Amino acid sequence: MGDVADKLAYFQAITGLEDPDLCTEILSAHNWDLELAISSITATDNHRPSSSSAVIDDEPQDVGLVLPPNANNQPPGLVWKIVTLPFSIISGSLGLISGSIRLGMWAAGGVLSYSLGMIGLNAPGRDGAETPLVSVSQSASEAIDFVSGFDRDYGGSTSRPNFVGEGFMDALQRSRHEYKLLFVYLHSPDHPDTQGFCERTLCNEMLAAFLNENFVAWGGSVKGSEGFKMSNSLKASRFPFCAVVMAATNQRIALLQQVEGPKSPEELLTVLQRVLEESAPVLVSARLEAEERRNNIRLREEQDAAYRAALEADQARERQRKEEQERMEREAAEAERKRKEEEEARERAAQEATEREAALAKMRKEKALSLGAEPEKGPDVTQVQVRFPSGDRKGRRFHSTATIQTLYDYVDSLGCLEVNGYSLVSNFPRTVYGQEKLSLSLKEAGLHPQASLFVELK
């Protein structure tokens, strides 16, 4: 059994564990001592409920907020990647957890559930005494030191994130049971951007309030053991470093977002708001599932009549919700239809106005061209002055043989009035040059050698 592969195969056969990476980490933690590694598993099995008791106690276990795997065992779209935590981080928080681990939670999974079921709360030493794999208080002590140091350096601010004084795994466990995402901040005290980021961004009143309300916040110094290991696991390449994670199955976490380098409070707040919005379906689903489990337990304890009443009330609420949803959908569809009709009407009106304007411009241009060049003064040339309602005056010379229609064409070409919306009139005596006089020449109409007309709107 000296061969590593043989030891790994033998360990998997004895313990029933299928994950080779987990088996390798357990064996490595015990210096590849098969007897010690196997005894740590079998010792834990003695504390688990038997199969028969698990069958009898069929109440669903509340494992908290855990990212469910999909059919292809791939992360959903909101997840950047799945991160497998090192064995040392998982085992670092085991000593802080007391009580037996039920088979339901062991089978259900979660970041702690699988590793706890396989590793046990306390692994027996060679002399038979039960001793923890690592120092019981190491991860918590580092977290407490970080929180106290953060308060000491930046406690003068009126607001700051409420970092938990717990190891990473315990903070992750807390976030699961509070159905919140875990905000991770890796603190590099020697980095030049750290102080400004902590003072102006993390201690910003709006950002701190948002974090404290919607997240469980955990921080660790990269100079500490756990903070250093987490920076390696999350592949932090630039500081300040922040991440948003949630528990996944087995010994893994789902990395939802990471933010590297100095950011303003507004930039970080925007990122956190987006992550929270994208994660809302998972968060709501987890809360609804937990609520459903509690309701089921309560309903089973009630009498049949009360159960039927509650069920009918649930069905009535669901029908009401669907009816309300259908009503809102119908109203939204009707509003959308009206909006489209109004938009189409506006587009048609605008198109028609454009076409009319283009036609008028073309007509005015054609009439201006039809006038020809203005003649020089002479005995056969008539000088005409036209006064507009605005008080403006326009004048031009015409051949005395030009018709009254030519005067209308001239006024139309100026673009000051709407075509066919006016008449040309002379005073003393008042004469209206309407449709019946359009064919008369200026001389025949008595307007030669000069005339003064004004525009009368219809």
Kindly list the distances between the CA atom of residue 265 and the CA atoms of 200, 201, 210, 337, 402, in Å, as whole numbers in the listed order. 7, 5, 11, 42, 79
Q: Output b/e per residue, 41-69; b: 16+ Cβ within 10 A.
A: beebeeebbeeeeeeeeeeebebbbbbeb
Once rounded to an integer, what is the mean pLDDT over residues 363-385?
Answer: 89
- Residue that is written with structure tokens 């008595």 in the block: 446
Name the helix (H) or strand (E) containing 86: none
DSSP code of 374? P
Confidence of residue 371 (pLDDT cuts 50, 70, 90): confident
Judge contact between 66 and 109, C-beta under 8 A.
yes
CA distance 348 to 356: 12
The conformation of residue 297, written as its DSSP 8-state character, comes to: H
Torsion, Cα of 41, 114, 121, 105 (10° steps): -120
More confident residue, 193 or 97: 193
Residue ranges of domains in the chain, CATH in brackets: 47-313 (3.40.30.10), 381-457 (3.10.20.90)
pTM: 0.47
CA distance linking residue 213 with residue 161, whole number of Å: 10
**pLDDT tens string 288-326:** 888 888 888 888 888 888 888 888 999 999 999 999 999
**How would you classify the pairing of strands 252-260 and 422-426?**
unpaired
Shortest CA distance to 452 belongs to which of 375, 374, 396, 377? Answer: 396
In this prediction, residues 330-343 reach a mean pLDDT of 94
Helix axes 205-214, 265-301, angle to 10 degrees: 20
What is the residue type of 238? R
The amino acid present at 279, given as its one-letter code, is S
Tell which wins on pLDDT, 134 or 328: 328
